[in-house]
Amino acid sequence: MTLPDGGPGGTPQSMEGKAMHALVERLYPICRSITGDGLRRTLDIIGEYVPLSVTEVPTGTTVLDWNVPKEWNIRDAYVKDPSGRRVIDFRASNLHVVGYSVPVSGTYSLEELRPHLHTLPDRPSLVPYRTSYYAETWGFCLSQDTLDGLGDGPYEVLIDSTLEDGSLTIAEHVVPGRLAEEVVISCHVCHPSLANDNLAGVAVAVALARTLREPRYTYRFLFMPGTIGAITWLALNRERLHLVRAGLTLACAGDPGPLTYKRSRRGDAEIDRAVTHVLRGREHSVLEFSPYGYDERQFCSPGFNLPFGGLTRTPYAGYPEYHTSGDNPGFVTPAAMEDTLDALKQVVEVLEGDGTYVNLSPYGEPQLGRRGLYESLGGRSDTKQAQMAMLWVLNLSDGEHSLLDISRRSKLPFADVKAAAEALLDAGLMEEKR
Ligand code: ZN
């Protein structure tokens, strides 16, 4: 195994857009579901990029109000026409089988098959993505165009699957920080051949994890099946959820649309303020919390009410390729994934660098020249902006305003405000609020 940008054992290096896209393409063919070997194979591959700790939770385990379901695995599936040709073929695309289909073997006329066939009449060239996790049934998905071309049959039908006791798999990658408090990034990994939802999110999360070096906070990356995975993780980690300082669900991270942030249930948590501030300089939209969407639904359920927002590009169900064969690696771009990664790096910079300070010389402006602070700005091309940052930090550092607050109010980049604060600390003009 050769990593796209280095090798195992060496210092992790950053992943560029092309490397993220290559990971999407590598994971795309695997038939994932909320349980099973496709999910495990996916986690094995992610584990080549960032070390994972994997937990298997047995079928039947009670997790909050749910139970871990039976494990589903599939080897092959088809519908063959009277000439023996596979007119619907799992090997061509795993979207052709309804996820969690029970095994089937028999001969059916087209009329008998119809209740088991799913199409998108309004997008006739696309194959839909369908699942039936909690009702035991079977089915095939195909394009309306293919269905329109089918004769009366009879058809030989096979779904070579198993649905039996096993386990549900969840995986975590932890970057230890100086503090035990955690920033959590969660990605669902239960969808089969769909690229934006959510292999792009996985690739961006992996890339972000590889940029972190001795951070202040501990960073925890969760790769889990949607809904039941998050519910299982919450059930297993109930005693340590007080350590979660900020969280994000990351999905749909590679489509060409602008970034969208969905606020946490709290609405004004640190993560909400950090992400909305970072997005200010970009085309973007901000959505208020709603109890629908991705796993922020679980993290923000009222009993937990964790400070979890959701970051996507085009949001949940907001593009015609969503949950169809149109959501393939051609739909996600290296540039869009790089842009998502860049925004996340800035969010990390804000979370890591924020703090609240007290100006020790608050009566009149302190004399900056005497302390060499003007000279320290002299060589910069943006001297004026750096000087403004210093004045804003001095003025608002009354123990009530954090650097992020100051950055928002002054409309100056967080990095400039942070640099000013460090210079003022070095000069002995401020101290950290205790
Ligand atoms: Zn989805």
Average pLDDT over residues 345-368: 95
Structure confidence by residue, pLDDT tens digits, 293-350? 999 999 999 999 999 999 999 998 899 999 999 999 999 999 999 999 999 999 999 9
Q: Are 278 and 350 in contact (CB under 8 A)?
A: yes
CA distance 319 to 122: 14
Going from the Cα of 137 to the center of ligand 1, the distance in angstroms, rounded, reads: 20
Confidence of residue 378 (pLDDT cuts 50, 70, 90): low
Separation of 285 CA from ligand 1 center, angstroms? 20
Handedness of CA 394, 395, 396, 400 (dihedral sign): positive
Q: Once rounded to an integer, what is the mean pLDDT over residues 236-264?
A: 98
pLDDT tens-digit profile of 55-97?
999 999 999 999 999 999 999 999 999 999 999 999 999 999 9
Show the tokens assigned to 74: 């599939």
> Nearest to residue 51, comparing CAs of 180, 212, 228, 181?
212
Residue in 99, 110, 128, 92 with CA at minimum distance from that of residue 34: 99
Which of 334, 352, 370 terminates a domain? The answer is: 352
Are 60 and 134 members of one domain?
A: no
Q: Give the Å distance between the CA of 292 and the centre of ligand 1.
A: 12
Would you say residue 142 has pLDDT above 90?
yes
CA of 202 to the centre of ligand 1 (A): 13
Query: Cβ(80)–Cβ(240) under 8 Å?
Result: no
Task: Compute the distance from residue 35 Cα to the ligand 1 centre, in Å.
Answer: 15
Mean pLDDT of 201-227: 97
Q: Cα(335) to centroid of ligand 1, in Å?
A: 22
Question: What is the domain count for the chain?
Answer: 3
Residue 18 confidence (pLDDT) above 80? yes
Average pLDDT over every residue of 383-411: 94
- Going from the Cα of 226 to the center of ligand 1, the distance in angstroms, rounded, reads 8
Indicate whether 211 belongs to any domain.
yes
State whether residue 15 is helix, strand or coil.
coil
Per the CB < 8 A criterion, the answer to whether 125 and 103 are in contact is no
pLDDT in tens, 172-188: 999 999 999 999 999 99
For residue 108, pLDDT over 90 is answered with: yes
Q: How far apart are the C-alpha atoms of 251 and 262, rounded to whole Å?
A: 11
pLDDT tier at 2, thresholds 50, 70, 90: very low
Centroid of ligand 1 to alpha carbon of 129 (angstroms) = 9
Q: How far is the CA of 144 from the centre of ligand 1 (A)?
A: 21
Tell me whether residue 5 is in a domain.
Answer: no
Domain that holds residue 286: 13-68+167-352
Looking at 352, 377, 394, the residue that finishes a domain is 352
DSSP one-letter code for 127: P
CA of 152 to the centre of ligand 1 (A): 33
Residue 8, pLDDT above cutoff 60: no
Whether residue 104 sits in one domain with residue 224: no
Residue 49 identity: Y
pLDDT at 13 over 60: no
Q: Could you tell me the distance, in angstroms and rounded to a whole number, from the CA of residue 390 to the centre of ligand 1?
A: 46
The pLDDT, as a whole number, for residue 336 is 97
Global pTM reads 0.94
User: Which pLDDT band, with edges at 50, 70 and 90, does 381 fall under?
Assistant: low
At residue 7 the predicted structure's pLDDT band, cuts being 50, 70 and 90, is very low
Q: Cα of 392 to ligand 1 centre, how many Å?
A: 44
Retrieve residue 164's tokens. Answer: 């039996």
For every residue of 69-114, DSSP letters joined together read: --EEEEEEEEEE-TTS-EEEETTT-GGGB-BTPPPEEEEE-HHHHG
Same domain, 98 and 30: no
In the reported structure, the alpha carbon of residue 323 is separated from the centroid of ligand 1 by a whole-number distance in angstroms of 6
Distance of alpha carbon 102 from alpha carbon 163, whole angstroms:
6
Nearest to 296 by CA among 207, 227, 217, 208: 227
Residue where a domain stops, chosen among 118, 133, 164 = 164
Residue 304 half-sphere exposure toward CB, CA atoms < 13 A: 27
CB 208 within 8 A of CB 170: no
Question: 249: which strand partners?
Answer: 186, 310
368 C-alpha to ligand 1 centroid (Å): 55
Arithmetic mean of pLDDT over the chain:
94
Residues β-bridged to residue 119: none
**Residues 246 and 272 both lie in one domain:** yes
1, burial (CB in 10 Å: exposed 0-12, middle 13-18, buried 19+): exposed
Residue 276 Cα to ligand 1 middle (Å):
24
- 3-class secondary-structure state, position 164: strand
Query: 151 and 239 share a domain?
Result: no
> Is residue 1 situated within a structural domain?
no
Question: What's the pLDDT score for residue 372?
Answer: 82
Tell me, in angstroms, the distance from the centre of ligand 1 to residue 359's CA: 49
> Which ranges of 130-269 does DSSP label H, i.e. alpha helix?
144-148, 200-209, 228-236
The answer on 326 and 212 residing in a single domain is yes
Span from the CA of 377 to the centroid of ligand 1 (angstroms) = 49
Residue 370: exposure state from Cβ atoms within 10 A (0-12, 13-18, ≥19): exposed
Residue 37 lies in a domain: yes
Distance 102 CA to ligand 1 centre (A): 21
- The 10s digit of each residue's pLDDT in 25-38 is 999 999 999 999 99
Clarify whether residues 344 and 417 are in a common domain. no
Q: Which residue reads 């090798």 in tokens?
A: 7
Cα 258 to averaged position of ligand 1 atoms, centre (Å): 19
Tokens of residue 83, six digits: 């000439």
CA of 191 to the centre of ligand 1 (A): 7
104 in the same domain as 32: no
Instruction: Answer for the pair 250, 186: CB distance below 8 angstroms, yes or no.
Output: yes
Measured in Å, residue 395 CA sits from the centre of ligand 1 at 47
Q: Tell me, in angstroms, the distance from the centre of ligand 1 to residue 237's CA.
A: 25
Task: Give 3-state DSSP helix, strand, coil % of the chain, rounded to 5.
Answer: 35, 25, 40
Mean pLDDT of 12-18: 76
Q: What distance in angstroms lies between residue 251's CA and the mean position of ligand 1's atoms?
A: 9
Beta strands in 313-412 (DSSP E): 356-359, 398-402
SS3 234: helix
Please give the distance, rounded to the nearest whole angstrom, from the Cα atom of residue 328 to the centre of ligand 1: 13
H/E stretch holding 58 = strand 53-58
